[in-house]
Structures are given as structure tokens and as C-alpha cells.
Structure 1
Amino acid sequence: MDDAERLRRWRMVLGADGADSNAPALTGRDAAMDSALSALYGEGEGKRPAGRGSGGRSAGLGASAPSVARWLGDIRTYFPSSVVQVMQRDAIDRLGLAALLMEPEMLEAVEPDVHLVGTLLSLNKAMPETTKETARTVVRKVVEDLERRLESRTRATLSGALDRSARVSRPRHRDIDWGRTVRANLKNYLTIPGPDGTTTGTVVPERLIGYGRAARSLNKDVVLCIDQSGSMAASVVYASVFGAVLASVRGITTRLVVFDTAVVDLTDQLDDPVDVLFGTQLGGGTDINRALAYCQSRITRPADTVVVLISDLYEGGIRDEMLKRVAAMKASGVQFVTLLALSDEGAPAYDHEHAAALGALGAPAFACTPDLFPDVMAAAIQKRPLPLPDGGPG
């Protein structure tokens, strides 16, 4: 890279006020990109932020819907989709543009992503009817994209877990569990002499052990219990999509419950995740104990039930009762999973004391990415140790 190119790149990174005086003047596409960045991040502090949450800088979008719409069109022209999504989130957070998202023209200009869906859901109750249909279209686009990415692996992983959770003693050849079969027949180990004086060891499989095939009747019950406080927006989106996918897997019956200080059962809407999402109400308080009491009352087959609590664990209800309910469910045979988040961002701020208390009960709390979730569910269904990220709680 020559010096001119290096100076040009630093000029783009730092902005006009932060760049070296020898930096070249920007023209054409570079000037347009610089203008879009300056409108959001301003030019007064020497350098532009590398990510979200950098405040204290003036910005030039104003409150005009037409100017914002033009800016949204510009950033989609000049930046890749991943950068566009970050800039949109910064604009909403830094410039208070949430109200403008209630205008259909604005929604048509944005780049849909999980975080935008969370913002729209938080505005749902205040959104005018003229905008709601456009908002549903934006949400559906994100949901359908998530389903395409997540469905096939989830179905394959969980179907395999259901098939392999049963054992049979007269399996077909392709269903033989070779590891268990060898271990069960080690007493039948023989040493066979060869014609050249060498010996060969072999295990005679007197008893075969194999995987059972998934029964046509329901094998496992899964209860997704989702905290819908504002900080859990991305988790609500992913959990709703996974809930719909789980409901479509033969051998699993799925219940989806969302809560703040009230509890809402959205199971009858699982055939359409968009309906589920618009049935949520992001924000408000948190009463985990009440939500778990409801879930506990719906469990009819504890030994075949997996309960997944998705929450940052900031309990506004009765803490001791919450922990007693978890302990009681586990004692009855329920597999209990605690996820601090179901998103790509990692663990959010969460109540460490409650997380430690749940871990002591055998329900370690950790953040889970969407890619890891099928493996977590498969482990819970098979009653084996959960694949904790980095080997421990989040």
C-alpha cells in the first residue's frame, strides 16, 4: 500500500477534523461515504467510533423523515449489509429515530435485521394501523430468513437426538450403536492365531445394541419460557423462530410462554412466528417465579419434559420460591435449561447471584448462540451434559 492510499484510508476512518492535514481531499464515492458517516457520527472528537454506543458527538440527520430516508438509502448504497445494520442501530440509539420507524416510508427504507425487529416490537402498541402491515412485512422477512438458516440443522439435530434416546437389542445393521455394542461384548474377546504365526484380536458380538427409531407418538415435551423485558429483544425473536421449528419436529410437543409481570401462553400461534412476535410486549417488569409456576402447572410427563428458561434473571418476584420451583421440577425428572440470552451478542448484564444459585441446583446459566441452541436441546433431550460455551457458564 502506498502512502497516498494509507492517508486516504486514515482520512475515511478519522473524519475531517481527526485526519492529518496532509490527508487528500475526498471525491466521488469516498466523499459520499464520508458524508453519510459524518451525518451520524459527527466530526468533533478526532476519530469515529468503531462500533455501537459511542456518544457525545453532534450529528447531522435532524428529525426530518425525508432526510433520514435519503440517508438510509445512501448507507445501503455505500456499505455492506452488516455495516448498514450497525449504523441503523446507532442512528436509532443516538438520534432518537424510533418514532420515525412508525412511518411506512421509513420502514421500507431500512435494512431488516433481528435488532430492528426488536425495536419494532417494542413500538408495536404505539404504532398506527397504517404502519403495522409494513412492520409485519419487515418482521416476516427477518423471520423467514432465520427459518431458512436455522430450520434444517435444528430438525436434523433434534430428530437424531430423539432417535438415539431409545435403545433396542435387535437393531438393523445401520442402527447399531457400535460403541455400546463393543463395550457390552468385551467379555467375548478372542485371540485368533494366523497362519504366519501372528495373532489377531476380535470381539464376538453376542449381543447387539442399537438406536431405536423415533416413535410416531410424542416422545418429548419442550417448554420455552421467555423473558420479554426490553433487554431480551433479540432472544425473543430467536426463541420464537426456534419455537415454531420445534413445534414442526415429529416427536416433540412444544409450548411457548412469554412473561414480564404477567404470563402469556402463545402456543396456539406457533404455526406463525410473526404472530408470536406480535403477541409479545417488550418491556415492563419481570416475575420469573410466576412464569415458572405456570409452566410447572402444564407439565404432565416430568421425565420426558425439557423446560428452557430464557432470561437475564433480574427477578422482580419471589426469589426463594423461584429457586424452589426449579429444584422441584428437577427432582421430578424435568431437564431444566437456563439461557441468559439466545443471540449472537453473548451474555448480557444479568443477575450473577441468581445464576450461581441455579447453577448450584444443576441448572447452569449461560448465554447461547443460535448456532449452539440445537446442540443444547439435543443434549437436554438425551439427558447428557449440556455443551456449555467455553466450558462453563456465561
Structure 2
Amino acid sequence: MESGPHERLRRWRLVLGGEPGAEGTGRELAGRDAAMDGALGALYGGGKPATQDRGAGLGASAPSVARWLGDIRTYFPSSVVQVMQRDAIDRLGLAALLLEPEMLQAVEPDVHLVATLLSLSQAMPETTRETARAVVRKVVEELEKRLATRTRTALTGALDRTARTGRPRHRDIDWDRTIRANLKNYLPRYGTVVPERLVGYARATRGVRKEVVLCVDQSGSMAASVVHAAVFGAVLASMRSIATRLVVFDTAVADLTDQLDDPVDVLFATQLGGGTDINRALAYCQSRITRPADTVVVLISDLYEGGIRDEMLKRVAAMKASGVQFVALLALSDDGAPAYDREHAAALAARGAPAFACTPDLFPDVMAAAIERRPLPIPEA
């Protein structure tokens, strides 16, 4: 590999693009570099690639786009490919081409591509649907592999710790609570506490211990959150000690609990886009709660309410007063700080329900804290 000034000129030439010499570096590209420049120019240059060997720009045809997708997967790492794919969809209006099977077979699957496919699902021809499902399933399986074990471990531990006993085995003693319960038995002379009463954890019992309701906003801005929520819903539903309900909403409400055994079915049952009626969705969730003290409701929404604001806030307050643990997540994704309704977020916080964005990696800890009724691990803004 080249080094020094020649390599710097090469990199600047790839960054600046343009016709040979037009960008001011005086550096001409050949071979692999020319092909990389062509792939970049087709997307960002507004014209044809510098090379004519591997296609001629991104016209409105699936074959040319499929060839370009193959090129960028050859020349760039997966993380860069995903960015370029998103830019191609946004900048060049290529979403419609994702309805063609050969296009889908060439893409690098990621959460954002899944979100785009879901937004197109109602217009998707049958010839494309199975290919699209395969793309979505690949992303879902990768997310499950990354998140499932940690989620089950965190929540199983939380469930064990919520079951207290006065006759714990030695390894199950909660020493912090035991010491606090026996402070009256402190012996200054010996500098110790006599543990007259032990407090510990019971082993998890059979049957449902907690109920979790995931209430997910399926407006277009929440697309990545919907994908992650479907995966987490399936993971939670696989735990016998947790009864999980998944509700998605826009201005209407859909209960997808019966499909939680397959998150791909859940995702294709969603309809991304449309308005938002959080109050109606929470009313439905509230009507399904039978054990408030053992229930955690997780609202995943940017809080741009199109329904009755005051009723929504009263409903949250009523659920909390009944014993429900209420968690409001402004996003469940890795996309960084989300846009959200700050007035509604502040109103929820004033009612003891802080609203914050959550990454998928943090979600197991948030759920464990909610189950144990501990302070939530809210990330710093």
C-alpha cells in the first residue's frame, strides 16, 4: 500500500471526486480505485461514475442499482455499505426499486433497510414478499443473537430477586437488606451486627410472575424502535415467568400478542406511518391489566400525541396509582438522540414517569430495574 504524500493525494481524490484533474489533486485513478470512485460518484456526484467498466450511474432500473450494490459491497466495509444504501434510498428515491427481488438480493440487510421494507410492505408484490421476508429474518436473527441471552439473564435475575424469603440459603442471602433489617442489633463493643433475621432471595417459582405490556408507536419516525421492540417482545414471550403483550398503534390500535412467537410475522403486521393516538393505545393496554402490582407497561413513543393530551396524562397517573410500573422510552434504537415532544416528556416526568431514549443494549437493564422497582438506569443526556 502507498504511504506518504501519494496516499494522501489518493484519499483526497476519492473524497473530492469530479472529472480527472478537476478536483485539483492532479491524481488520476485506475483499477480498484477508479471503481470505488465510480461507486461514490454514482451516488454523491450527481452524474456518471468516472469508470465505465462497471455500469454507468444509478438510473431508475433495478439491474443498474443491483450492480452498484454489488460494487459497494466489494469495495467498502459493511458499516459504510449500510450508510450508502440509506443515502441512495433517501437521495435518489430508490425505495420503489426495493419491491423488485433482484434488488433485495443485492442489499446489505440492516435495521434501517428493514424499516424501509416494512413501510413498503402494503405495496409489495407477491413475487417480492418472500425475498423481503428473508431479508427481514436475517436482521431479526442477528438482533436476537446479540440481545436474547443478555435479556433473559438480566430478567431472570430480577425475577429471582423480587421473591424475598426469611429463610434463605447462604448463597441467596441479601446482605445489604439483612444488615439494614438488623441495625437495632448492632454491638458497638464488637463492631458488628447480629443477624437475628435473614433476608434473602427465593428461587423463582413456576408460573407467571410478572406481566409486561409493550405499547409501541408505529408512526414512521419510530421505525427502528418498532423493529427492536418486536425482537424484544419475542424474547420476553419466550420466558414462562413473564406474560408479554405487544400492542402497536397509530390512530388505531392492534394487539399482536398472538404473533409473538415469530417477530418477522409481527413486523409484517405493522403499518409504519400515519398519525398517533397514544391515549387510545394506553386505554386499550389499561383495559387488559389484571394484576397492576405485578405489571410493567413500556410505552415506546416520541410522544407527539394526536389524541387527547390531558386524558393520556391522567391515564398514566391512574396506572401508576394502581401499582403499575410505567416506563416511557422516546426511542429504542442505536440512532442517537431522537426528536420528541419535550412538553409531554416533562409532563410525564412530573407524574413520576421519566421519558428517555434507550439503546437496545440498555433495555435489559431498564426492564430488570422496572421489575425490581429500582430506579431506572436513565442515560445522561
Contact 1:155 1:246 in 2 (8 A): yes
Match of 2:230 among 221, 240, 258: 240
What is the letter of the counterpart of residue 379 of structure 1? A
Gap change, CA 1:104 and 1:160, over 3 Å in 2: same
What is the letter of the counterpart of residue 155 of structure 2? L
Q: Distance in 1 between matches of 2:151 and 2:133?
A: 25
Match of 1:219 in 2: 209
Contact 2:57 2:64 in 1 (8 A): no
1:249 Cα offset (Å): 1.6
1:20 Cα offset (Å): 5.5
What is the letter of the counterpart of residue 44 of structure 2? Y
Contact 2:293 2:322 in 1 (8 A): yes
Pair 1:25-2:25 in alignment? no
Where does 1:67-146 land on structure 2 (aligned, <5 Å)?
67-146=64-143
Three-state SS of the structure 1 residue aligned to 2:270 is: coil
User: When the two structures are superposed, what TM-score results if normalisation uses the length of structure 1?
Assistant: 0.90
Contact 1:340 1:347 in 2 (8 A): no
Cα deviation, 1:259-296, whole Å, max 9, x if unaligned, reads 11110000000000001001100011111111111000
Match of 1:13 in 2: 15
Match of 2:359 in 1: 369
Match of 1:166 in 2: 163
1:190 Cα offset (Å): 4.4
Where does 1:327-366 land on structure 2 (aligned, <5 Å)?
327-366=317-356
Pair 1:297-2:287 in alignment? yes
Three-state SS of the structure 2 residue aligned to 1:150 is: helix
Three-state SS of the structure 1 residue aligned to 2:353 is: coil
Cα deviation, 1:165-202, whole Å, max 9, x if unaligned, reads 1211111111111222233334444477xxxxxxx744
Match of 1:255 in 2: 245
Gap change, CA 1:191 and 1:336, over 3 Å in 2: closer
What is the letter of the counterpart of residue 33 of structure 1? M
Q: Distance in 1 between matches of 2:251 and 2:336?
A: 25
1:30 Cα offset (Å): 1.3
What is the letter of the counterpart of residue 211 of structure 1? Y
Pair 1:312-2:297 in alignment? no
Structure 1 stretches of 5 or more lacking a match?
A: 45-58, 193-199
Contact 2:174 2:199 in 1 (8 A): yes
Contact 1:335 1:380 in 2 (8 A): yes
Contact 1:339 1:368 in 2 (8 A): yes
Q: Distance in 1 between matches of 2:262 and 2:250?
A: 22
Gap change, CA 1:60 and 1:354, over 3 Å in 2: same
Match of 1:150 among 122, 147, 151: 147
Q: Distance in 2 between matches of 1:333 and 1:186?
A: 29
What is the letter of the counterpart of residue 70 of structure 1? R
Cα deviation, 1:36-92, whole Å, max 9, x if unaligned, reads 011000069xxxxxxxxxxxxxx9311121110000000000111111001000000
Match of 2:50 in 1: none
1:133 Cα offset (Å): 0.7
Match of 1:326 in 2: 316
Identity of aligned residues (%): 83
- Range moving further from structure 2, 121-130 or 339-348: 339-348
1:213 Cα offset (Å): 1.5
Q: Distance in 1 between matches of 2:25 and 2:288?
A: 70
Match of 1:39 in 2: 42
- Range moving further from structure 2, 17-26 or 111-120: 17-26
What is the letter of the counterpart of residue 361 of structure 2? D
What is the letter of the counterpart of residue 379 of structure 2? P
Q: Distance in 1 between matches of 2:144 and 2:288?
A: 27
Q: Distance in 2 between matches of 1:292 and 1:190?
A: 53
- Range moving further from structure 2, 175-184 or 348-357: 175-184
Cα deviation, 1:94-144, whole Å, max 9, x if unaligned, reads 111111000011100000000000000000010001110111111111101
Q: Distance in 2 between matches of 1:19 and 1:80?
A: 28
- Range moving further from structure 2, 175-184 or 378-387: 175-184
Cα deviation, 1:185-225, whole Å, max 9, x if unaligned, reads 34444477xxxxxxx74433332211122121211110000
1:19 Cα offset (Å): 7.4
Match of 1:185 in 2: 182
1:28 Cα offset (Å): 1.6
| Pairs aligned (count) | 370
What is the letter of the counterpart of residue 16 of structure 2? L
Gap change, CA 1:22 and 1:113, over 3 Å in 2: closer
Three-state SS of the structure 1 residue aligned to 2:154 is: helix
